[in-house]
Amino acid sequence: MPQEELARLQEERLRHTISQALKTPFYRQRFAQLKVDPGKIKTVKDLQRLPFTTKEDLRQGFPFDFLAVPLEEVVRLHSSSGTTGTPTVIYHTAQDLERWTNQVARCLYMVGVRKTDIFQNMMSYGLFTGGLGMHYGAERLGAMTIPIGTGNSKRQIWFLQFFKTTVVHILPSYALLLAQLIKSEGLDPKRDLNLHIMLIGAEPHSEETRKRIEEAFGAKAYNSYGLSEMNGPGVAFECPYQNGMHLWEDYYILEVVDPKTGEPCREGEVGEIVLTTIYRDATPILRYRTRDLASFTAEPCPCGRTHRRISRIQGRSDDMFIFRGVNIFPIQIEKVLMNIPEVGNNYRIVLAREDYRDIMRIEVEIKSELFFGDLQKLERLQERIQAELRSEILVTPEVILVEPGTLPTQEGKAQRVFDHRQM
Ligand code: AMP
Ligand code: ZN
């Protein structure tokens, strides 16, 4: 669709979205406070007069303040990965799911997935959107879809071999590890498998990581961007030219803004991605601050698609990090640690990649009388800290207890997270 026509479609859908938003307690109240006439929000420019919606807003609106349809119209809910207190939930009507399915199917078709493919979905099924979201898109195309989920590498490898899987959906960090495990079984991921397309996403990764994955498997790896608040996978996706991700502008209004001022960025300038849903009824969200940093380009793509492209995600404007596909905020770790009386005042979170495996090591200073005390007590303390962290962040970190005063301190803002994983 020519860009002008796409813009007209966006405005038509925006108007419908505003009318949906007015059915939610959150936006009704917000419009009343702002004294803005919602009927006047017709164009993307008008939209920019509205304030952003944040993750905090979604949390405070739990459970139903963002719901625009009667609950009986809702057929599913999803939530983001990780566990920061109150979850943010997104509701879908049957039609919302139908549209999302087509959105994902469009992405997969774009990179060459067809009904003859065997699709192994190695993402977690459940509240996280990467499992079911991709699953239905692949089924829509008629590919034989294997809902294998995450983990159990031996079984993954067996399925890859036995069914001659041609397409996988996989975390980039896991793809590198899996290649290694396949080799350690005496197999060659290139020669002994039949993979030709890999969809990689859900966590930041670099062009170098992509190249390594492609070389290891002898397949094409396409970057897939999404977030649960905006459905999940399928928000933006690379085309065969691998030159940025087409952001589907018939589903969202894209803005890239300066994270400090909120002002629009110019083409090519890195800023925060802000998205408005325009093709969804149950949970309309206006100007959602994703906190993901990227730039956009409106340059025509050789593939012919007119949807603008965003760059690879360059980082976050908050301190969230993603570990093995799970979103984690350092404050979650801090809360657990500071609740344990034996723990001192300083700690740090070290992320590293060792033997293709991502590890999280939490170094914790403990009070000095304990440090030089009973060894068994120390071991029990360490295990307790580990278990409490696990129940908060859902992954098990390594915990190292250190003597007080041994971790580096900074004047000014403390740096807690040291990420040595090469993206
Ligand atoms: P969730 O809501 O749990 O699906 O997490 C969404 C977040 O994962 C996004 O806001 C990004 O920070 C991150 N993410 C998803 N896909 C990508 C990708 N292709 N590259 C970088 N980060 C990604
Ligand atoms: Zn393209």
The predicted model gives 55-66 an average pLDDT of 95
Q: Is the CB of 227 under 6 A from ligand 1?
A: yes
Count CB atoms within 10 A of the CB of residue 249: 18
Query: Residue 108 Cα, ligand 1 centroid: separation in angstroms?
Result: 18
Spatial separation of the C-alpha atoms in residues 214 and 10, rounded to whole Å? 36
Query: Which pLDDT does position 372 carry in this prediction?
Result: 86
> Which range of residues forms the domain containing residue 178?
93-316
CATH, residue 399: 3.30.300.30
Number of structural domains (the chain) is 2
Residue 40 lies in a domain: no
Six-digit token pair at 274? Answer: 């802000």
Residue that finishes a domain, picked among 286, 316, 346? 316
Indicate which residue's Cα is closest to atom 15 of ligand 1: 202
* Shared domain check, 363 and 305: no
Spatial separation of the C-alpha atoms in residues 33 and 339, rounded to whole Å? 39
Query: Which pLDDT does position 184 carry in this prediction?
Result: 94
CATH, residue 133: 3.40.50.12780
Residue 31 lies in a domain: no
The predicted model gives 50-65 an average pLDDT of 96
State the pLDDT confidence band at 404, using cuts at 50, 70 and 90. Answer: confident
Nearest to 334 by CA among 422, 393, 265: 393
Residue 85 lies in a domain: no
* Shared domain check, 336 and 300: no
Indicate which residue's Cα is closest to atom 12 of ligand 1: 292
Signed CA dihedral, 319, 321, 326, 328: sign only: negative
Contacts of 79 (CB under 8 A, 6+ apart): 87, 88, 89, 90, 127, 128, 228
Can you tell me which atom of ligand 1 is nearest the CA of 245?
19
The predicted model gives 66-80 an average pLDDT of 96
**Is residue 280 exposed (0-12), middle (13-18) or buried (19+ Cβ within 10 Å)?**
buried
Residue 50 lies in a domain: no
Phi, psi (deg, nearest 5) at residue 31: -65, -40
* Shared domain check, 283 and 207: yes
Spatial separation of the C-alpha atoms in residues 260 and 253, rounded to whole Å? 20
Contact status, residue 197 vs residue 219, Cβ threshold 8 Å = yes
Q: Is the CB of 200 under 6 A from ligand 1?
A: no
Q: Does position 82 have pLDDT exceeding 80, yes or no? A: no
Query: Which pLDDT does position 414 carry in this prediction?
Result: 73
* Shared domain check, 392 and 340: yes
**Is residue 5 exposed (0-12), middle (13-18) or buried (19+ Cβ within 10 Å)?**
exposed
* Shared domain check, 179 and 300: yes
The predicted model gives 137-144 an average pLDDT of 98
Contact status, residue 137 vs residue 108, Cβ threshold 8 Å = yes
Six-digit token pair at 305? Answer: 């698609």
Spatial separation of the C-alpha atoms in residues 50 and 34, rounded to whole Å? 8
* Shared domain check, 345 and 300: no
Q: Is the CB of 87 under 6 A from ligand 1?
A: no
Work out the angle between the directed axes of helices 375-393 and 330-338 (0-180°, nearest 10). Answer: 140
Residue that finishes a domain, picked among 282, 316, 350? 316
Mean pLDDT, all residues of the chain: 94
Query: Residue 228 Cα, ligand 1 centroid: separation in angstroms?
Result: 9
Q: Does position 2 have pLDDT exceeding 70, yes or no? A: yes
Poorest-pLDDT segment among 95-109, 131-145, 263-277, 327-341? 327-341
Residue 301 lies in a domain: yes
Six-digit token pair at 61? Answer: 């609106």
Element (H, E) at 176: helix 172-184
Cα 344 to Cα 104, 348, 402, 416, distances in angstroms: 48, 12, 10, 14
* Shared domain check, 294 and 342: no
Question: Does 288 or 208 have the greater pLDDT score?
Answer: 288
The ligand with the least distance to the CA atom of 107 is: 2
Residue 209 lies in a domain: yes
Query: Which pLDDT does position 412 carry in this prediction?
Result: 64
Residue that finishes a domain, picked among 272, 299, 316? 316
* Shared domain check, 227 and 98: yes
Residue 25 lies in a domain: no
* Shared domain check, 290 and 150: yes
Query: Which pLDDT does position 14 carry in this prediction?
Result: 98
Contact status, residue 106 vs residue 80, Cβ threshold 8 Å = no
Q: Does position 85 have pLDDT exceeding 80, yes or no? A: no
* Shared domain check, 273 and 125: yes
* Shared domain check, 328 and 308: no
State the pLDDT confidence band at 173, using cuts at 50, 70 and 90. Answer: confident
* Shared domain check, 285 and 148: yes
Spatial separation of the C-alpha atoms in residues 333 and 359, rounded to whole Å? 15
DSSP 8-state assignment for residue 53: B
Can you tell me which atom of ligand 1 is nearest the CA of 236?
19
State the pLDDT confidence band at 84, using cuts at 50, 70 and 90. Answer: low
What pTM, to 2 d.p., does this model score?
0.90
Residue 88 lies in a domain: no
Which position has the token pair 């060894």? 375
Q: Is the CB of 327 under 6 A from ligand 1?
A: yes
The predicted model gives 369-376 an average pLDDT of 88
